[in-house]
Structure 1
Amino acid sequence: MAEISSESILAACVAIDGQGVLIEARDDAQRTDLLLRLIDRGAMLVVDARTVCVRRGKALCATVPAGTGGRIEIRGIGAVPLPSLDEAPVALAVVVLDDAPRLPEDRRTRRIAGIEIPVLALGPSEPAAPIKVEYALRALAR
């Protein structure tokens, strides 16, 4: 049975030093909060809410669905245009959980479009969350 070569997921994506970071959360406000804090630290927006992940050889690329790029929806403000990229190679997935583990028991991954991606779990209100994402990107990503 052949694996799918693309997958649409409910996740935002930013690029940090050219590496894509997917951000998933049950609550849109939590996802947007982390997205804005990463952008404030220099990350580049790829896509705000729905990301199309495409397998290209052994790499996974986050791409923007047609007509949805270049803006972010900020609760209480509306859609705000931002400089953005059309795609980025995915190196890390961040999942915002109600209660993230203090010390993960193992190195977690998620399979998207046939590619294993390292996963970092974070709590929703961690002040150091953007810094943890940057450290995890250096430590976990390929």
Structure 2
Amino acid sequence: MSSSDSLAIDGTAIAIGNAALLLTGPSGSGKSDLALRMIDGGARLIADDRVELVIEADRLCCRVPSAMPANLLGRIEVRGIGIVPAPRAPGATPLQWVVELVPAGEVERMPAAESRAFLGHAVPLLRLAAFEASTAVKLRLAAACGPGLIMGRE
């Protein structure tokens, strides 16, 4: 695989069913915290802190970076505790949403449809506040509905 077939980025990826959600944002924005709450609700960890995007069967997918040390596979950082094991998603998972974590005041009530492009594939974008109590529920709803079923995002 050439370097143009994959892209390593800072972020945390989780899987809900057969869909990946890529959590992005600056250090301390709540990526691991939100992923931990999602995992507690049944999601599986793809990768924490660093995620590799790849094209498989003409779909953009998230997976564990090929350079990830074996002792970190299936582990997530829990601030105040350390690095702990988590239920893990096997292989590459198709990327359904990019979730940019922003301060609560920057979350729009009815956002216009936006996307981010990686490796020539556009992925729908959500901007959410990681530390709001409802954010995990919002992500489960977004994953269940998919971008095409959310009004204003067609």
Asked if TM exceeds 0.5, the reply is yes
Matched, 1:131 2:140: no
Contact 1:58–1:115 under 8 Å retained in 2: no
1:101 maps to which residue? 108
2:88 maps to which residue? 84
How large is the Cα RMSD of the aligned pairs?
1.9
* Structure 2 alignment gaps of length 5 or more: 150-154
Question: Identical aligned pairs, as a percentage?
Answer: 32
* Pick aligned residue for 2:75 from 67, 71, 78: 71
- CA distance in 2 between counterparts of 1:131 and 1:70 reads 23
Runs of 4+ in 1 over 2 A off after TM superposition: none
SS at match of 1:118: strand
1:141/1:69 CA distance change after superposition, 3 Å: farther
The amino acid that maps onto 2:116 is R
| CA deviation profile, 1:22-47 (whole Å, cap 9, x unmatched) | 01121335111110111111001111
Between structures 1 and 2, the one with greater strand share:
1
2:152 maps to which residue? none
- CA distance in 1 between counterparts of 2:81 and 2:131 reads 21
The amino acid that maps onto 2:81 is I
- CA distance in 1 between counterparts of 2:75 and 2:95 reads 20
Contact 1:54–1:63 under 8 Å retained in 2: yes
- CA distance in 1 between counterparts of 2:148 and 2:141 reads 10
Contact 1:61–1:87 under 8 Å retained in 2: yes
Number of equivalenced pairs: 139
- CA distance in 2 between counterparts of 1:12 and 1:75 reads 14
TM-score for both structures, normalised by structure 1: 0.88
Matched, 1:34 2:34: yes
* Structure 1 alignment gaps of length 5 or more: none
